[in-house]
Amino acid sequence: MSDPILVLAHIDETSQINIGAREALGFAQNLSENTGRPVECGLIGADNSSATAEVTELGATKVYTIEDSLLARFSGDNMVSAAAHIVSSSGARIVLIGRHPSTLEFIPRLSRRIDGTCVMNVTRIETINEQYTEIEAAVYGGAARALYQIDSTSPVVVGLRPAAAEAPTPHPENSSDIVELNLELLADRVRVITEATADEGPRLENAEIVVSGGRGLQNAENFALVRELANLLKGMPGASRAIVDEYWAPPTEQIGLTGTTVAPALYVAAGISGASQHMAGCSNARLIVAINSDPDAPIFKYADVGIIDDCLAVLPELIELLR
């Protein structure tokens, strides 16, 4: 019964673990307290030394690391091979992976490679016994939950829903066994022709304040109001899927199930109705402020503070007051 809970993370050129990996370590710790399984971590990247220290402080008792310069950028073929090697070395049957842009590729491919199973958007793990594991996932855009029953005899790769758990408190006194693994890597079958240059600036998923706009903005020009308010509040702008599909805002600013998930201290939703697909990306905000002219808009069910009025009338007033 003491097979470990394994958290897997890709270490990019920042050499740090991302928010998803921290959440996965928190999820693993909760699971470890309930089941007595140790928490282990597998790191795959070009330089894992500082990340190794970080995950040790966050509760990993054993750290598997695979380092190669070819792994600095997420490469599906090599990531899957490396991760499969770590899973088989650890003997883990529960593998946790937190939010990361690559999960749509990484998790299902890995699960197939290790002849296991996978579940995405996982909210909690309900039961683990020798026969089966019961795992709950958010489905139907967050409107429902599905309880998956999984055969326990092979490993299950669990893709955690963003903010499924909080990052654990770091303990600098922790220590861990470090296992360096080697693997022969190959050039990925997918070649990069033009690479997106990672913006050095602040990232939406880490923003403390987010101001988001939806269809209530009426047209593309009015998204400038959202940008300006976000700017004045020293936050970042976000958008609903509906207006991204209309090209009022770029896909990088989309918040929701198929966009970015945010958990800011303050989330201002202007002219957003509150579809579950959108709320999946922001419901973990500490305070949600809704501005909507429809008093029956579902967003008011999720909001802590609401203004029932046209966002096109309220946003300019807020901007005026903050200038």
Partner 1 sequence: MHILVAAKQVLDPDGINSYALWGRLEVSEDGLGFNTGATVPQIINAYDEQAMEAALQIAEVQEGTRVTAVTVGSDTAPDVLKRCYAMGAENTIHVHDDEKQSGNPFRISQILATVAKNLGDVDLILCGRQGSDYDQGAVPAILSEDLGMPFITMASQINFDEQTQSLHVDVVTPNGPETLACNLPAVVAVSNEIGQPRYPSSRRMIQSRRNPPTVFRADELLPGPATEKMSIKLLTVPEVQGNCEIIEGVDPKEKAKHLLQILRERGDLNV
Give the footprint of partner 1 on residues 227-246 (CB under 8 A): 232-234, 241, 245
Give the footprint of partner 1 on residues 41-60 (CB under 8 A): none
Q: Report which of 119, 220, 202, 133 is spatially closest to residue 161, judged by C-alpha positions.
A: 119
26 near partner 1 (CB under 8 A): no
149 near partner 1 (CB under 8 A): yes
Q: Report which of 178, 160, 181 is spatially closest to residue 56, judged by C-alpha positions.
A: 178
Give the footprint of partner 1 on residues 65-94 (CB under 8 A): 76-77, 80
Q: Report which of 84, 75, 76 is spatially closest to residue 115, judged by C-alpha positions.
A: 84
Whether the CB-CB separation of 13 and 46 falls below 8 Å is answered with: yes
170 near partner 1 (CB under 8 A): no
If the CB atoms of residues 143 and 220 are measured against partner 1, the closer one turns out to be: 143
- Largest pairwise CA distance in the chain: 62
Give the footprint of partner 1 on residues 300-319 (CB under 8 A): 300-310, 313-314, 317-318
For residue 63, give both structure tokens.
């750290």
Could you tell me the smallest distance in angstroms from the CB atom of residue 317 to partner 1? Answer: 4
With CB under 8 A, what is the number of residues at the site for partner 1?
89
147 near partner 1 (CB under 8 A): yes
Return the bridge partners of 45, or none.
11, 67
Instruction: Indicate which single residue of 52, 222, 273, 284 sits in contact with partner 1 (rule: CB under 8 A).
Output: 273
Q: How many residues does the chain have?
A: 323
User: Which of these ranges, 63-71, 175-183, 210-218, 296-304, lies near partner 1 under the rule CB under 8 A?
Assistant: 296-304
Instruction: Indicate which single residue of 137, 167, 207, 269 sits in contact with partner 1 (rule: CB under 8 A).
Output: 137
Residue 147 burial (10 A CB sphere; 0-12, 13-18, 19+): exposed
Instruction: Indicate which single residue of 60, 191, 249, 284 sits in contact with partner 1 (rule: CB under 8 A).
Output: 191
Query: Residue holding tokens 């861990």?
Result: 176
Instruction: Indicate which single residue of 13, 144, 206, 219 sits in contact with partner 1 (rule: CB under 8 A).
Output: 144
Q: Report which of 31, 212, 235 is spatially closest to residue 126, judged by C-alpha positions.
A: 31
Whether the CB-CB separation of 4 and 91 falls below 8 Å is answered with: yes
User: Which of these ranges, 32-40, 47-55, 88-96, 187-195, lies near partner 1 under the rule CB under 8 A?
Assistant: 187-195
